Amino acid sequence: MQDTRVHTRPLATLVNGLKAFWRDSNGSVTVEFVLVMPILFWAFMATYVFFDGYRQSTVNLKAAYAIGDLVSRETEAVNDAYIDSMYELYKLMVRARTETKMRITIVRFDQQDDRYYVDWSKERGYGVERDNDSIKGITSELPVMPDNERVILIETRNKFVPLFNVGMKNKQLKNMIFTRPRFAPQVVWEDT
């Protein structure tokens, strides 16, 4: 008879060695750290970028409301210097790293014609002011108004550029704010 114990011993030693290797936890924290750290770092940066985007959007909206509120309280005639100062205030409030745009338009509704008309419009950064033809393009976005009622339309725009590349593209932040004149029936332009 042959002794089979001699032949199974190396196999048992190999199996026992593999079991010991499998149970050994030396160095596993380092390996886990190397595997997980890039994901955690990306998640931290993505959280920062998304928070910054929402913050910029909120600041842009609040600045537009503030400009609308200031214009709505105006009882004197408005001129280019006033519009320039509103634009400078808007840029100061937004503190954007990109170009900002602002347009202030006084819109009137005529019930007989069943349409909106522009009393006056001034822009900074847009390049074009609103007129009676361009107001037709946004009729669905304008509020329902009674006959000969006027509303101040504040349009603002700036671009959000993410600070880090986490898969988010540049985003145009656009706002349309409507405010009724408070202390006078309308806000008038200096030349009219």
Per-residue pLDDT of the chain (192 residues; tens, 9 = 90+): 555 555 557 777 888 877 877 777 676 777 788 888 999 999 999 999 999 999 999 999 999 999 999 999 999 999 999 999 999 999 999 987 888 999 999 999 999 999 999 999 999 988 788 898 899 889 899 999 999 999 999 999 999 988 888 888 899 999 999 999 998 888 889 876
Give CA–CA dist 156/174, Å, rounded. Answer: 6
Model pTM? 0.77
Q: In which element (H, E) is residue 144 found?
A: none
* Exposure string for 102-138, b = 16+ CB within 10 A, e = fewer: bbbbbbbbeeeeeebebebbbbbeeeeebeeeebeee
